[in-house]
Amino acid sequence: MDAVSRERFRWLYLGKDTKKYFGLVEAMNKVCKEIPSGPLINKIAQKVSEEYVNKDQSITPETVATLAWQASSLAENNPYISDLFYQCCATLALEEILVSEVYDLIVICEDQEYILFLSEKWGDRQYFLTIGHNAEWLRIRGMIYRFLRKGMVWIYFLWRNYTKRLWLSMNRMLRKAPAIRKAHLNTLFVLWGTQRSFRSGEKLRQDSHFGELMVTFREAGQSLTYLVLPVDWIDPYASIVDNALSSDEDVLLPEDCLTVWDYCQVALEARKVETISLNTPLMIGGNDFSQLFYSHLRRERCRLAYLESVKYRRVGVGIGKRFMKLDRVVHLFENQPWEKTLRMGIRSRQAGIKILGCQHAPFPRLYLNYFASRRSIEMDLLPDQIISIGDVFQRVFQAHGYKSEQVKAGSAFRYAYLFSVKKSSPKSFKQVLIATSISYQESLELVYKVLSYFGNRTNYDVKIKFHPKLNRQDVLIREVLSMLGLRELPCHVQIVTDEIERLLETTGIVFYNFTAVCYEALVRMIPVVFIKSDIWLDMNKLEWFEEVNFNARTVQEIDQIMTNLSKLDTHGRSRWGRAARTVVEQSFTMPLRDDLVAVYN
C-alpha cells in the first residue's frame, strides 16, 4: 500500500481475542494506521451503562417478572457472560468515529451476527468495509448451528444432571443418609461447595465466603442446613458430594430437590425464552439495538448455563417442599440468574420467608450484574436484604437506586484477615508481582503488556501469580511467549503458586486487572497498577478510589509510572501508604461476632 493509501485508510478492531488483536496490530500497522477502540468503548460504556441496565423498560412489566427473562444472560447484565453490552458500546464508538473521521475504515470482528448487524447499518457507506462473507449464507449457517446446538445442549443437560442425581442417590443410600426434611428450619445457607469445603465428621466452622457466620448463628441457637452448590468446573462432582456428606452437618445438594419430572419441566420452561419480545424499540445512546437484542436472545436456549438457571427455580420449589416453615435463606449476592430463579422458587412455596443476599467481593462500575434495573427493584425481585462488605459499597448500592432500608453494611468475611495485617516497611520496586484475573483474555493482555516492559529488564524480579480458577494457564504462557517472540520465559520471570499473602510480603509493586488482590496489596502499602485494555472494558475493582490507584494502558505509561514512583522519597511513600490503608478500612467492615446476628436478622 502506497503512502497515499496509507493515509486514506484506518482500521478498527471490535472483538475480544487478545492474541488476534496484537497480531493485527503487527500486520495492519504496516499498511495503515489503527484507531484504538478500547479508550472510546470505555468512555461510552460509562455513559450508557444505566440505559443498558434498564433495557427491560422496552419489554412489558409482566415479562420482566417471568422465569424466561430472569434466567437469561440479557437480564443478568454481566459483560463477561453476554456480549450485548460490549457490542452496543462498540457500535456507538464506531458511529462516533464515522461521524468525526474522514478516512475509509476497515472494521474487523469475529462475531458473525454482529458483522451482519454492522453491515446492514453502515454497509452502504463508502468507508465501511466488512469481512467478505455472503450475508444470507451467514444467516443460514447461524440458524443451522443454533438448531443443532439446542439439541446437543439439551441432551448434555439431561445426561449431566441424571448422572449427578444417580451418583448422589447411591451415595446417600450407601451412607444411610437420606436428604433432610424438617417441620421448621431457622436458616438455610447457600454455599459454593468444593472437595475441601467440609471436614469429615465435624461441624462447619469456616467458609471461604461467609467466614464464621454460621458459627455465630449456631451459638445463637439457630437450626442450620446447607444447600451446597457444586463447583464442578474446578473439582469432580463425586469428590464434592463425598466431602459434603462426610460432614456432621445437614446438607442438601440441588439434585436432592429435583425429580425426573422436574428436568422435563425445565425443557418446557426453557422454550419460553423465545417468546420474549420488545414492545418498544431498544434505544441505547440514541441508537436502535432491537435487532442485536433478538440476535442475542436467540442464543439463550443454546447455552447450558440458561438451562441450569431455569433448573434452579425447580430447586427452590423442592427446598420449599422439604420444610414446612423456613425462616431465612442466606446466599451470596452477585445478582446472577441462578440466584434470581432460586429465590423465585422458594418464594412460591414459602410465604413470609426472609432472603438475604451477601456481597462477598468488591466490584467495578461496569460489572453491571450488581446493578438491578429499576423495574426489578420496584417489583421486589431482589433479596429482602442486601448485605454489603462495607460502607463504601452500601453507598454504591443506594446511589444506584436500591431502597435505603434494603441495604445494610455487613462484614467482609472473605477479607477478615486484612484487619490483622500490620504496617510494613516499603519494599523495592524491583520486586514485581503480576496478579491475573479469572478471565483468559484479560490475563493474556495483562501478562503480555507487563512482560513487554519488564521482559528485557533483568535487574527486576518478576513473579506471575495466576488466578487459581484460571483455565489453560500453560496455553496462556505459550501464547504470551509467541507474541513476544520468545521460546521460554526470561530467567528473572517466574510463575508462582504460593498463597497471595505470602507473595505480598516481599512484593514492591503489583500489576493487576479484574482481581481484589489490589486491596490486599494496599493494606500492606504496596503500590498497585491497573492495566487497562486496548480492546475491552476496563474492570478495575479499585476505581472508586482514584487517589491511590495508578492506571496504564501502554508500555510507555508503565514506564512513566515506574519513573514517577522511583522519585518518591520516604515521606512521600509513607503518606501514600497511609492513604492506601484508609481505603481498605473504608471498603471493608471488620466482622464483629456480637453484631452479626442483629445484622443478618
Q: Which three cell numbers stand for residue 387?
A: 448485605
Q: Which three cell numbers stand for residue 33?
A: 494506521
- Range 56-61 average pLDDT: 91
Q: CA torsion sign, 310 to 70 to 370 to 537?
A: positive
- Range 395-401 average pLDDT: 94
Q: Which three cell numbers stand for residue 267?
A: 425443557
- Reduce the secondary structure of 231-246 to three states and give it as a string: CCCCCCHHHHHHHHHC
pLDDT of 3 higher than 70 = no
177-186, 422-431, 540-549, 588-597 — which one is most confidently predicted on average? 540-549
pLDDT of 400 higher than 60 = yes
Type of residue numbered 140: I
User: In Å, what is the CA distance from 578 to each residue of 502, 527, 586?
Assistant: 21, 12, 12
pLDDT score of 594: 54
Question: 111 φ, ψ to 5°?
Answer: -70, 115
Type of residue numbered 579: A
Q: Are strands 104-108 and 9-13 parallel, antiparallel or unpaired?
A: parallel
pLDDT score of 2: 59
pLDDT score of 138: 53
pLDDT score of 131: 44
* Contact yes or no for 46/366 (Cβ under 8 A): yes
Type of residue numbered 358: C
Characterize 566-578 residue by residue with b for buried, 16 or more Cβ atoms within 10 angstroms of its Cβ, and e for exposed. Answer: eeeeeeeeeebbe
User: In Å, what is the CA distance from 108 to each residue of 123, 129, 249, 287?
Assistant: 13, 9, 54, 21
pLDDT score of 284: 95
* Residue pointed to by grid coordinates 514506564: 559
What digits encode the pLDDT tens for the residues 24-41?
888 888 888 888 899 999
Least confident of 210-219, 394-403, 438-447, 559-568: 210-219
* Contact yes or no for 31/6 (Cβ under 8 A): yes
Q: Which three cell numbers stand for residue 129?
A: 468495509
Distance CA 409, CA 384 (A): 14
pLDDT score of 109: 84
What digits encode the pLDDT tens for the residues 105-159?
888 888 878 888 888 877 655 444 444 444 554 555 555 556 566 678 888 888 9
pLDDT score of 129: 43
- Please classify residue 597 by burial: count the beta carbons closer than 10 Å to its beta carbon, then call 0-12 exposed, 13-18 middle and 19+ buried: middle
DSSP structure class, residue 279: S
pLDDT score of 598: 64
What digits encode the pLDDT tens for the residues 67-108?
999 999 999 999 999 999 999 999 999 999 888 767 778 888
Least confident of 336-340, 444-448, 544-548: 544-548
pLDDT of 387 higher than 50 = yes
The closest of 312, 342, 378 to 54, measured between CA atoms, is: 378
- Range 557-571 average pLDDT: 90
What digits encode the pLDDT tens for the residues 291-313?
999 999 988 888 889 999 999 99
- Reduce the secondary structure of 174-202 to three states and give it as a string: HHCCCCCCEEEEEEEEEEEECCCCCCCCC
What digits encode the pLDDT tens for the residues 487-502?
999 999 999 999 999 9
* Contact yes or no for 92/48 (Cβ under 8 A): yes
The closest of 367, 357, 366, 420 to 388, measured between CA atoms, is: 357
Contacts of residue 460, Cβ cutoff 8 Å, sequence gap at least 6? 430, 431, 432, 454, 492
Start-to-end CA distance of the chain, whole Å, equals 70
43-52, 163-172, 243-252, 470-479 — which one is most confidently predicted on average? 43-52
- Please classify residue 180 by burial: count the beta carbons closer than 10 Å to its beta carbon, then call 0-12 exposed, 13-18 middle and 19+ buried: middle
pLDDT of 425 higher than 90 = no
- What residues are paired with 347 via a beta bridge? none
User: In Å, what is the CA distance from 98 to each residue of 48, 101, 186?
Assistant: 19, 6, 60
What 3-state class would DSSP assign to 222? coil
DSSP structure class, residue 385: E
Distance CA 190, CA 253 (A): 10
pLDDT of 521 higher than 80 = yes
322: left (phi over 0), alpha (psi -120 to 50) or beta: alpha
* Contact yes or no for 511/434 (Cβ under 8 A): yes
Higher pLDDT, 346 or 421: 346
pLDDT score of 7: 72
Strand (E) or helix (H) holding 326: strand 323-332
pLDDT score of 107: 87
pLDDT score of 299: 87
> pTM to 2 decimals?
0.91
**pLDDT cut 90: percent of the chain above it:** 58
Distance CA 84, CA 77 (A): 9
pLDDT score of 570: 82
Q: Are strands 323-332 and 182-193 parallel, antiparallel or unpaired?
A: parallel
Mean model confidence pLDDT for the chain: 88
Distance CA 57, CA 77 (A): 14
Distance CA 153, CA 427 (A): 51
